[in-house]
């Protein structure tokens, strides 16, 4: 039953990305092009997501279980360290170069966009390298 909820939530998220145009890298690059023909629509999508996230975290802080009965584990780290800054820079560089972030890239795979395949492959290589570098010593 849990997998049905996970699938449904993922489907709703993917449809939202498609309907808002966020799976189109040109839309994202238009948002990042401050000196050219800037497209502010992504700012409204981000603003809506931030509002939903703020409400969700306020509700989550008062709970010990998810709505489906699982353990609720909220992040506790509040430090801005080198790993966070370098990860943010890598994310931003990839987003700016390709016009994708992970969610929209996965949605774009469904349309057969070659740029999405390249982005996802690079993302998986990066995730693998991170795991190799940060593997605890035996």
pTM: 0.74
Q: Where are the domains of the chain?
A: 2-133
Predicted pLDDT of residue 75: 85
- List pLDDT tens digits, range 28-40: 888 888 888 888 8
Assign 3-class secondary structure to 27-64.
HHHHHHCCCCCCCCHHHHHHHHHHHHHHHHHHHHHCCC
Most confident of 48-57, 98-107, 127-136: 48-57
77, pLDDT greater than 90: no
Place of tokens 């982005």: 119
- Nearest-CA neighbor of 45 among 24, 60, 67, 75? 24
Residue 111's pLDDT is: 84
Does residue 125 have a pLDDT over 90? yes
How far is the C-alpha of 70 from the C-alpha of 31, rounded, in Å?
A: 38
- pLDDT at position 23: 86
Res. 26: pLDDT tops 80:
yes
Query: 85, 79 in Cβ contact below 8 A?
Result: no
Dihedral over Cα of 4, 9, 128, 29: its sign: positive
H or E element that contains 122: helix 114-133
């Amino acid at each position: 039953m849990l997998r049905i909820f996970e699938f449904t939530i993922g489907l709703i998220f993917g449809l939202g990305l498609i309907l808002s145009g966020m799976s189109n890298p040109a839309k994202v690059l238009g948002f990042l092009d401050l000196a050219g023909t800037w497209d502010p629509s992504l700012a409204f999508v981000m603003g809506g997501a931030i509002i939903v996230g703020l409400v969700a975290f306020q509700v989550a802080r008062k709970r010990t279980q998810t709505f489906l009965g699982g353990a609720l584990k909220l992040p506790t780290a509040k430090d801005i360290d080198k790993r966070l800054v370098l990860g943010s820079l890598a994310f931003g560089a990839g987003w700016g170069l390709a016009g994708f972030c992970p969610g929209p890239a996965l949605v774009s795979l469904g349309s057969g966009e070659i740029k999405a395949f390249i982005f996802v492959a690079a993302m998986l290589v990066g995730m693998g390298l991170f795991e190799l570098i940060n593997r605890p010593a035996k």
